[in-house]
């Protein structure tokens, strides 16, 4: 060396050679990772992984940790917000927080570090994309670079087994390293972590390094207590359920056909409000829409008497009823009952409301008499007070028609001037016995019934 230094020409050549080699090393990244010192730095960069949906960057909304904090696996680190969802990021290491790379409301990109860890006696397979030379070998050829894990450089069977374990068993890289060092198959280790993850303590307990039972299973893995189910109960049909069973069995013999329509209720609502005072003077504390429905049906039945008839199947005759005894479905503590209001064709709305309130009160008290059910000629059911819009009511034999009103909804509608207005719309569903009633007759009846409800001033004519 002294000879070279004494010779200026030789020294210049040496300098040129070393400069060339140094530039070559800088251009070849795999050579830059080559060093001869021991790996003492346990600093691990925790990177933001891909959270799916094509999201490339997120906003840091909240940090649950600060620099200097000691965390465990699966502890919450931070909450990030994308343009689609909010996601909580959890730790994959046991260790100490060394540095937070972002502040609240900063943008973080996928693949960039979120924070740095000082890992407790553990190495990581994902250390800030810098892989230790002691753990990997780089094979360079004309083809793309291939990284081979020297710890897995055994037989192909061992490599395949490890890959299968990675795909099947949930565990952190640090836990996998311990299992690899002790040649433990993670799929055979009893997992106690959240969601069936294998923890460090599980592997140590499997190896006998710590006493059995040291690791407490996560609450999600604890077996839920089995509550014994009561024995099946058999109940004999009696009372109202038995009557309904018989009535619906007969109803199934009738060929039903259905017809539906919508009613604009705004004018009727105003008309009802105007006569509430008169109703209270006559002892009616609550005036519902049902008396209007009943009276409109009675008026339409005069025009279409076939709907107020009954069918004698054996004699094949239709019996037209002169009285309009309209049955009304009422929900009582004993079940659904269908008493009727007698002679609706001879009563006004106030009188029908009084009779309706009387049978409702008797139904709630359980004091309805057989005469309250006898002689029904036509049925109505206001299912809208419970909920629902369209339905398919069942005909009460020997009657031949029934109607069911749905819930009134506020919806936009166009008026005669093509202006959007608020409208109160109620749906109605009719069912009729197709053996004696055709679709045209049912439609005409429904249109007349609808006309009286949408133009309630017409009730004054009756």
Vertex 295: Cα angle to 258 and 460 (nearest 5) = 130
Instruction: Name the residue with tokens 């105003």.
Output: 270
120: buried, middle or exposed (CB in 10 Å: 19+, 13-18, 0-12)?
Answer: middle
The helix/strand/coil state of 418 is: coil
Integer angstrom CA distances of residue 252 from 122, 248, 255, 324, 395: 74, 6, 8, 24, 9
* Cα end-to-end span (Å), the chain: 129
H-type alpha helices, 312-438:
349-365
Q: How many CB atoms lie within 10 A of CB 200?
A: 22
438 is catalytic: yes
Q: What is the dihedral of CA 128, 132, 136, 141, to 10 degrees?
A: 80
434 catalytic, yes or no?
yes
Task: Select which of 23, 69, 121, 438 is catalytic.
Answer: 438
For residue 127, count other CB atoms closer than 10 A to its CB: 21
Catalytic annotation, pick one of 101, 218, 345, 434: 434
Which residues have a catalytic role annotated?
434, 438
């Amino acid at each position: 060396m002294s000879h070279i230094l004494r010779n200026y020409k030789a020294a210049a050549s040496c300098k040129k050679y070393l400069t060339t080699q140094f530039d070559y090393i800088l251009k070849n990244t795999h050579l830059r990772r080559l060093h001869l010192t021991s790996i003492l730095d346990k600093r691990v960069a925790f990177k933001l992984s891909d959270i799916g949906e094509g999201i490339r960057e997120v906003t840091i909304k909240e940090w649950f940790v600060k620099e200097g904090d000691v965390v465990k696996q699966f502890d919450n680190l931070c909450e990030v917000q994308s343009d689609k969802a909010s996601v909580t990021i959890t730790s994959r290491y046991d260790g100490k927080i060394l540095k937070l790379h972002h502040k609240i409301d900063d943008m973080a990109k996928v693949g960039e570090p979120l924070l740095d860890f000082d890992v407790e006696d553990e190495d990581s397979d994902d250390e800030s994309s810098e892989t230790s030379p002691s753990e990997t070998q780089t094979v360079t050829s004309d083809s793309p670079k291939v990284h081979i894990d020297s710890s897995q450089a055994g037989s192909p069977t061992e490599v395949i087994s490890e890959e299968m374990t990675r795909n099947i068993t949930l565990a952190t890289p640090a836990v996998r390293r311990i299992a690899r060092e002790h040649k433990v198959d993670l799929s055979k280790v009893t997992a106690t972590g959240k969601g069936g993850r294998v923890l460090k303590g599980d592997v140590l307990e499997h190896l006998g390094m710590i006493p059995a039972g040291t690791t407490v299973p996560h609450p999600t893995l604890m077996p839920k207590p089995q509550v014994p189910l009561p024995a099946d109960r058999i109940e004999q049909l009696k009372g109202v359920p038995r009557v309904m069973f018989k009535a619906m069995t007969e109803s199934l013999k009738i060929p039903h056909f259905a017809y539906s329509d919508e009613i604009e209720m705004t004018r009727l609502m105003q008309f009802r409000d105007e006569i509430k005072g008169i109703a209270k003077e006559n002892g009616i504390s609550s005036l519902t829409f049902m008396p209007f429905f009943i009276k409109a049906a009675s008026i339409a039945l005069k025009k279409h008497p076939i709907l107020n008839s009954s069918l004698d199947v054996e004699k094949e005759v239709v019996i037209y009823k002169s009285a309009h005894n309209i049955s009304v479905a009422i929900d009582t503590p004993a079940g659904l009952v269908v008493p009727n209001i007698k002679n609706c064709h001879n009563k006004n709305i106030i009188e029908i409301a009084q009779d309706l309130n009387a049978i409702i009160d008797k139904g709630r008290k359980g004091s309805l008499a057989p005469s309250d059910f006898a002689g029904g000629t036509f049925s109505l059911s206001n299912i809208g007070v419970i909920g629902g819009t369209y339905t398919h009511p069942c005909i009460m034999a020997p009657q031949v028609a029934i109607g069911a009103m749905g819930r009134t909804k506020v919806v936009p509608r166009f008026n005669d001037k093509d202006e959007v207005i608020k409208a109160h719309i109620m749906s109605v569903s009719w069912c009729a016995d197709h053996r004696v009633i055709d679709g045209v007759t049912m439609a005409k009846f429904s249109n007349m019934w609808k006309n009286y409800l949408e133009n309630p001033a017409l009730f004054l004519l009756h």
